Homo-oligomer: A and B are copies of this chain.
Amino acid sequence: MSPTSRRTRMPPDTRREQLLDLGVRLLSTRTLEELSIDVLAEEAGISRGLLYHYFGNKQEFHRAVVRRTADDLIAVTRPDESLGAIERLAQGLEAYVTYVEENYLVYATLVHGAASGNELLREIYADSRSALTGRIFESVEELRLTDGPALRLLTNGWAAMVEETVLSWVPQQQIPKEDLLTLLAAALPAILAAVD
């Protein structure tokens, strides 16, 4: 059985998912601009026409790959609900930092592209940001904090701090990862202590 006939027997959704996974992997060594339909077609060993069938056009393809990246980030940071709020925060942070280490280029593209006003990236970024901070807002009662505009402003501020700190730390590793995690986890309750 040739590779082609094996591939064509897969359900279309599975094939599309595999192509997205390949796209995310290719982004570990390329910028989004360098990830063209041609590059994906060559790496996947399939025709450009089939890729256009799955993704419509290059912009839709990029949107789908970045969306997949954001979904992966949300999935790998999903906390173990049997843990307490502080442990969930620490666990989520560790998964987040590891994810950014392993997917640095595409994550930096997402954060910086969203800040620059790229609509495609801004929407995906906003969704992932609110999925991550939403977990903290759900823990507010357990943390004996008062939800409200001050807490929401500062929690988003802390998230911006984490993003910038981790994006600056990954290429330089100025301090041990364990110290980084401890400091970032300690910062949130320290910042929010002043809210009440």
Contacts and interface: CB of A to CB of B under 8 A. Distances in A.
Given A111-B115, A116-B116, A149-B175, A183 B168 contact: no
A180 B154 CA distance: 9
Interface string A156-185: 111011111100110000110001101110
Interface in A47-96: none
A140 interface: no
Nearest to A115: B115
Contacts of A163: 160
Interface in A135-156: 149-150, 152-154, 156
A10 interface: no
Contacts of A161: 154, 157-158, 160-161, 191
A187 interface: yes
A89 to B, nearest CB: 14
Contacts of A168: 153, 156
A190 interface: yes
A57 to B, nearest CB: 23
A126 interface: no
A1 interface: no
A180 B153 contact: yes
A165 B169 contact: no
Given A153-B174, A182-B194, 16 more contacts: A112-B115, A116-B116, A149-B174, A150-B174, A153-B180, A154-B161, A157-B164, A157-B184, A160-B160, A160-B164, A160-B165, A161-B191, A183-B191, A183-B194, A190-B190, A191-B191
